[in-house]
Amino acid sequence: MDNAINNKIFGPVMIGGIKFSSNVLMAPLAGYTCFPFRLMVKELGAGSAYTEMVSADALKYNDRATHNLLYTDDREKLKCVQLLGAVPETFEKAAKSGLLEKFDVIDINMGCPVPNVIKSGEGCALMDDIPRASKIIEACKRSGKVVSIKCRVGMNKKRIVIEEFARMCEVSGADMITVHGRTRDMMYDGEPLFDLIKLAKDSVNIPVFANGGIDSKEKAYEMMRQTGADGIMLARYGFENPILFSELTGREITDTKAGLLLKQLDIANECFDELYVLTYVKKLASYFMKKMPGTKQYKLELYKCGSVSELRKLIEEIFRVNG
Ligand SMILES: Cc1cc2nc3c(=O)[nH]c(=O)nc-3n(C[C@H](O)[C@H](O)[C@H](O)COP(=O)(O)O)c2cc1C
């Protein structure tokens, strides 16, 4: 399919009065969607990219971990943060806090399926408590920021609540909903339930984005066709292969893979401590090398690198040899 058609399906979109440069978004991914990564995917065509989930309650500690999660600066044009929590008042405090002042959009995590999160009444547990979920959205909206929701389709196949839930989001003031088309008990496996994402789309007038299992251009078109969604959100495969953003949006790539990686190393090095830089860039580099033949030895060497300068030399060598 050529870019003319791409651009028709994947183009700019307005959400809560803000123009997103494309309707292909990067999901929050804990441990992955740090500031340098968000900058890279936006350069490659992503309309926005979210911080990983940040505990609304833990903002009060204002520690190094929170600082790293919330790091952003003027290079990031549209700033989107995701909050996780259970208590409306805690969300209101967080949304109005100085730590989030720079962020334009607050996304509320109503989809995390992890047992500890569910036990605390956070993440996907909110799909089982619609009145409380509504109060949380209203609390965040009082900050005056654009508020989006990321949810699933229900807790399990017997408790599919997406229609009622999507309506509640709209009535409570949400500006956009992203539906991960799996139930909580599916965790991250199995085919997303396209018809239930479509049900959400057909139930509300605010934009609905579709998420789950999009790992190629073909899957992206299929998701759009089957759900009628206003856009898509890439997650695991957006990290594994960020070039997909450029393939979908037609945004030209000006860097080689090595160039992209070295830029990531430089930006991360400006913003974070060495341990953080090494952990992040090694993860990214190993995904970039995934489909390169003969890189097994290099992968071992990658994990042994103990400094940023060693890592830089190794990346230069790997990609000089492997293109
Ligand atoms: C390692 C990992 C971390 C994740 N972290 C978050 C998160 O912080 N917030 C969130 O809303 N979803 C998170 N998710 C869920 C993804 O955003 C996405 O909804 C899910 O992976 C389905 O999309 P995919 O099949 O395209 O990966 C995470 C998923 C994985 C695998």
Residue to substitute in 236, 241, 245, 279 for testing ligand 1 pocket (most ligand atoms within 8 angstroms of CB): 236
Q: Whose CA is nearest to atom 19 of ligand 1?
A: 180
Check residue 220 and give its pLDDT: 98
52 lines ligand 1 (CB under 6 A): yes
Which pLDDT does position 320 carry in this prediction? 79
Domain ranges of the chain: 3-249, 257-322
Ranges 20-24, 96-100, 246-250, 253-257: which has the least confidence:
253-257
Q: How far is the CA of 28 from the centre of ligand 1 (A)?
A: 6
User: Is residue 7 pLDDT above 70, yes or no?
Assistant: no
Map the chain to HEC letters: CCHHHHHHHCCCEEECCEEECCCEEECCCCCCCCHHHHHHHHHCCCCCEEEEEEECHHHHHCCHHHHHHHCCCCCCCCCEEEEECCCHHHHHHHHHCHHHCCCCEEEEEECCCCHHHHHCCCHHHHHHCHHHHHHHHHHHHCCCCEEEEEECCECCCCCECHHHHHHHHHHHCCCEEEEECCCHHHCCCCCCCHHHHHHHHHHCCCCEEEECCCCCHHHHHHHHHHHCCCEEEECHHHHHCCHHHHHHHCCCCCCCHHHHHHHHHHHHHHHCCHHHHHHHHHHHHHHHCCCCCCCHHHHHHHHHCCCHHHHHHHHHHHHHHHC
Q: Which atom of ligand 1 is nearest to the CA of 238?
A: 26
Q: How far apart are CA 101 and CA 109, in angstroms?
A: 19
CA torsion, points 147, 152, 153, 154, in degrees to nearest 10? -110
- pLDDT for 293 equals 80
112 catalytically annotated: yes
pLDDT at 291: 79
CA distance 163 to 152: 11
Determine whether the shortest distance from the Cβ of 109 to ligand 1 is under 6 A.
yes
Ligand 1 centre to CA of 112 (Å) is 8
Sign of the dihedral through C-alpha 174, 102, 78, 188: negative
Query: Residue 189 has which token pair?
Result: 């496996």
Average pLDDT value for residue range 26-34: 97
Task: Please name the CATH architecture into which domain 3-249 falls.
Answer: Alpha-Beta Barrel (3.20)
Q: Is 30 in the pocket of ligand 1 (CB under 6 A)?
A: yes
Residue 322 is predicted with a pLDDT of 66
Q: Output the pLDDT for position 4.
A: 41
Tens digits of residue pLDDT in 178-232:
999 999 999 999 999 999 999 999 999 999 999 999 999 999 999 999 999 999 9
Q: How far is the CA of 234 from the centre of ligand 1 (A)?
A: 9
pLDDT band at 2 (very low <50, low <70, confident <90, very high): very low
Q: Which residue has the higher pLDDT, 108 or 298?
A: 108
Query: What is the pLDDT confidence band of residue 319, given thresholds at 50, 70 and 90?
Result: confident
Residue 321 has pLDDT above 80, yes or no: no
Kindly report the average pLDDT of the chain as a whole number: 95
How confident is the model at residue 1, as a pLDDT? Answer: 43
Q: What is the pLDDT of residues 62-87, one digit of tens each?
A: 999 999 999 999 999 999 999 999 99
Q: Is 88 in the pocket of ligand 1 (CB under 6 A)?
A: no
Q: Residues 110-140, buried b or exposed e (16+ Cβ, 10 A)?
A: bbbbeeebbebebbbbbbbebeebbbbbbbb
Closest atom, ligand 1, to C-alpha of 192: 25
* Nearest alpha carbon, ligand 1 atom 31: 236
Estimate to the nearest angstrom the gap between the alpha carbon of 130 and the chain centroid. 23
292 pLDDT band (50/70/90 cuts)?
confident
Catalytic residue selected from 34, 80, 112, 305: 112
Model confidence pLDDT, tens digit, residues 9-24 = 999 999 999 999 999 9
What does the pLDDT average to over 155-177? 98
The verdict on the CB of residue 181 being under 6 Å from ligand 1 is: no
Closest ligand 1 atom to residue 214 Cα is 26
